[in-house]
Amino acid sequence: MHVRYFRFHKAKKVKTDKLTTRKIMEYRNRKDEHVKSTMIFGVRAVIEAVQAGKEIDKILIKKDIQSDLSKELFAALKGMIIPVQRVPVERINRITRKNHQGVVAFMSAITYQKTEEMVPYLFEQGKNPFFVMLDGVTDVRNFGAIARTCECAAVDAIIIPTKGGASANADAVKTSAGALHTLPVCREQNLRTTLQYLKDSGFRIVAATEKGDYDYTKADYTGPLCIIMGAEDTGVTYDNLALCDEWVKIPMLGTIESLNVSVAAGILIYEAVKQRNFDI
């Protein structure tokens, strides 16, 4: 009986391992197909996507690329707010082995908006605009979580930088529970210029920072508002802090020095909701 049991148990284990392996391979294949569906490779194909006005999240170009066609690509990119990274060809080879010609473009999962178009539109609609800006937040899961909170709190738009910030890719959309499909996202070349535009438009800029002058509940969130959140390690950059009307902090009562940025954003956003909706 002992021998029979052992043989049965061993056979079952092998069968389970094969099933697990097959599921893993199926998952990887689905993942690879998804990557292919959101990626364009080849210089001419990327040029055509740029000229057609396709929403492109970022473009990787090998460092030493030199060809007449690559010059045409750079000409097409001139004036475009599309992040371009010059990288070793080995990095592109890890993404695809197809004839990429040293250029790979990743398509955006959403359509980006412009702050300078959103602001007058919201004022014309008689709204009291409420924006959230992310300065150096690079983790797509934090970005997605903040976007989800923004959508739940009826924030009008979230503002991110073209470079040095998380992209609205498939992982961000998934973490946002689909919020990024409905919440306007403004991608801006220069956050400082955008902040100055908001100030000139009558917005109050509130920064969350450990250098804050007082508790976050003491700030005024009632008028046209932009809350700016920084990366967990570096915070809001000094140049951007200099343009803020208020610096606020969230009390840390334990031994850990800071909150996750998505949690901190949620706290400030809902303090703003409380002040802006007096019946809550």
So what's the pLDDT on residue 53? 83
Domains in the chain, ordered, with CATH?
Answer: 37-107 (3.30.1330.30), 115-276 (3.40.1280.10)
Contact 38, 107 (CB under 8 A): yes
So what's the pLDDT on residue 125? 94
So what's the pLDDT on residue 188? 94
So what's the pLDDT on residue 10? 45
pTM: 0.76
Going residue by residue through the chain, which has 280 residues, state the pLDDT in tens, using 9 for 90 and above: 444 444 444 444 444 455 555 544 444 444 443 444 478 888 999 999 888 888 888 899 999 888 888 899 999 998 888 888 899 989 988 888 888 889 999 888 888 999 999 999 999 999 999 999 999 999 999 999 999 999 999 999 999 999 889 988 888 989 999 999 999 999 999 999 999 999 999 999 999 998 898 999 999 999 999 999 999 888 999 999 999 999 999 999 999 888 999 999 999 999 999 999 865 4
Pair type for strands 246-249 and 204-208? parallel
So what's the pLDDT on residue 67? 84
Residue reference for tokens 């000094």? 238
Planar angle of CA 164, 89, 49, nearest 5 degrees: 65
Planar angle of CA 177, 192, 55, nearest 5 degrees: 45
DSSP single-letter state for residue 217: G
CB neighbour burial string for 105-142, b if at least 16 within 10 angstroms, e if fewer: bbebbbebbebeebbeebeeeeeebbbbbbbbbebbeb
So what's the pLDDT on residue 219? 95
> Can you name the residues that pair with 103 across neighbouring β-strands?
61
So what's the pLDDT on residue 36? 44
Measured between alpha carbons, how far apart are the two ends of the chain, in Å? Answer: 70
User: Encoding tokens for residue 182?
Assistant: 């409905």
So what's the pLDDT on residue 20? 55
58 CB-near residues (< 8 Å, 6+ apart): 82, 83, 84, 85, 105, 106, 167
So what's the pLDDT on residue 19? 52
Cα(128)–Cα(113) distance, rounded to whole angstroms? 18
CB neighbour burial string for 153-182, b if at least 16 within 10 angstroms, e if fewer: bebbbbbbbbeebbbbbbbbbebbeebbee
H/E run at residue 204: strand 204-208
Cα(24)–Cα(30) distance, rounded to whole angstroms? 10
Planar angle of CA 148, 189, 164, nearest 5 degrees: 60
So what's the pLDDT on residue 17? 55
